[in-house]
Structure 1
Amino acid sequence: MSAWWRRLRIWGRKRRYVIRRDPRLNLAYRISVGVVGAMVLAGGIVAIPYPGPGWLIVFLGLGILASEFRWAHRLLQFARGKYDAWLEWMKRQHWSVQGAFGLGTCAVVLGSLWVLGVFGTLAGWVDYQAGWVESPIL
């Protein structure tokens, strides 16, 4: 670990100690961490089926919450263990099972994009008129 990172961590610990001594400031800090962590976690949950770092965002949100809440730390450890076990299980599966999972994920992504109206918006940009591209809820 580099010296500047070590100094930054020590500085952060000192500031957190000062915040913990004042009950009102500590409560405001914990509420802020809870709100930010919950927002990041919710964004990660929404992003899970889409290509990109959905699970990374989920673990980041849990990590933010775990910095202040013991329950979040336990949940983070549990979720990381289950995620790692699921990845190992998936690696051991036949290519057809892996492909079926990939097709299922693709169907979820395409279905949610259709419901959210993305296809209708794109069709409007290129002046394509078809009823099936329009969202059923919009």
Structure 2
Amino acid sequence: MSERRGPPHWRQRISTTLALIRANPTGRVALKVIIGVLGALVVSVGIVLIPLPGPGWLLVIAGLGIWAVEFHWAKRLLGFTRRHVHGWTAWVKRQSLAVRVVIGSVGIVFVGTVALLSVKYSLGIDVIAQVLRYLATN
């Protein structure tokens, strides 16, 4: 079985299609507008979801990746983000199990606090007060 060199077939096809679109001045402008709007949509949804538990930051980074297809500043910012996420991940992996447990615990407490505050201020439900009230009656 021979080993393939270079980018995957689908990536080459996308690259060729984008080059054909960019070759036409109208296509170039249309592509910039479509990429700009689509990226803004994904980033906006991600920003709205950041305080909630879920994929908020992942969507922001995905939107940045969409923008990076057409905008150089987004490509640089995406590279910066990737380097720092990889650096952080590598640093955490080098730490002892105790340090990783502390980091994980702090992360869980942070996400839990954000989730509780999000529910309290967006839905008006004080989960902690509800739980305390429930425990007091039982």
- In which range does the TM-score fall when normalised by the shorter chain? 0.5 to 0.7
Distance 1:19 1:94, change over 3 A: closer
Identity, % of aligned pairs? Answer: 36
SS in 1 for 2:47: helix
Matches within 5 A, 1:4-19: 6=9, 8-19=10-21
Contact between 2:52 and 2:118, CA under 8 Å: does it hold in 1? Answer: no
In the aligned structure 1, how far is the partner of 2:12 from the partner of 2:59? 26
Structure 1 residue 22 displacement after superposition = 2.1
Cα deviation digits, residues 15-63 of structure 1 (max 9, x gap): 3233212222211210110111121122223333433333332221111
> Within 2, Cα distance between the matches of 1:62 and 1:43?
12
User: What corresponds to 1:24 in structure 2?
Assistant: 26
Normalising to structure 2: TM-score of the pair?
Answer: 0.67
Q: Give distance in 2, aligned partners of 1:32 and 1:10.
A: 21
Between the two proteins, the alignment pairs up a number of residues equal to 117
Name the structure 2 match of 1:133: none
Aligned-residue offset at 1:116: 1.0
1:119 maps to amino acid: I
Instruction: Give, in whole Å, the separation in 1 of the partners of 2:12 and 2:88.
Output: 36
In the alignment, the residues of structure 1 paired with residue 48 and residue 87 of structure 2 have an alpha-carbon distance, to the nearest angstrom, of 22
Whether 2:88 is the aligned partner of 1:86: answer: yes
Please give the root-mean-square deviation of Cα atoms over the aligned residues, in Å: 2.7
Q: Which has the higher contact order (CA 8 A, sep 6+)?
A: 2
For 1:48 and 1:87, the matched residues in 2 are separated by 20
CA contact 1:45–1:54 (8 Å) conserved in 2: yes
Gaps spanning 5+ residues in structure 2: where? Answer: 131-138
Moved more, 32-41 or 92-101: 92-101
